[in-house]
């Protein structure tokens, strides 16, 4: 991902704790390469996990990355909305608003 798209906080952590962030990034890469899921599906799964944890940063990150991997906005909305019976409407509504943040930035 180009540096200009990365959140400032992430760039700060990478500058300050480069070895740690590099290890986390390498772990993510290795895990994605180990399995049969394609990159788009993997980011949709991670998006759902971020929504479940109520992690705004993870939702923003995986929406951006899912889009880059070929996901459509409809697939992103659907991946989050599928969680309604599991995590509840308020959590889904929050995650959809965070997804929209990234989607509207991409449209601009």
What is the CB neighbour count within 10 angstroms for residue 78? 12
Residue pLDDT, tens place only, 47-77: 999 999 999 999 999 999 999 999 999 999 9
**78 has a pLDDT exceeding 80:** yes
Closest CA to 55 of 95, 88, 86, 93: 95
Q: Determine if residue 70 is left, alpha or beta; phi over 0 gives left, psi from -120 to 50 gives alpha, anything else beta.
A: left
Mean pLDDT of 32-36: 93
**104 has a pLDDT exceeding 50:** yes
Banded pLDDT at 106 (limits 50, 70, 90): confident
Measure Cα distances from 84 to 41, 77, 88, 96, 100 in Å: 19, 12, 5, 11, 17
């Amino acid at each position: 991902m180009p540096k200009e798209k990365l959140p400032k906080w992430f760039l700060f952590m990478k500058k300050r704790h480069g070895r740690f962030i590099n290890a986390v990034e390498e772990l993510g890469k290795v895990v994605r390469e180990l399995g049969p899921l394609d990159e788009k599906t993997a980011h949709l799964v991670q998006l759902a996990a971020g929504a479940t944890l109520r992690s705004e940063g993870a939702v923003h990150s995986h929406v951006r990355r899912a889009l880059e991997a070929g996901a459509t906005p409809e697939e992103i909305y659907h991946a989050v909305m599928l969680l309604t019976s599991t995590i509840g409407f308020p959590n889904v509504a929050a995650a959809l608003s965070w997804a929209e943040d990234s989607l509207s930035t991409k449209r601009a």
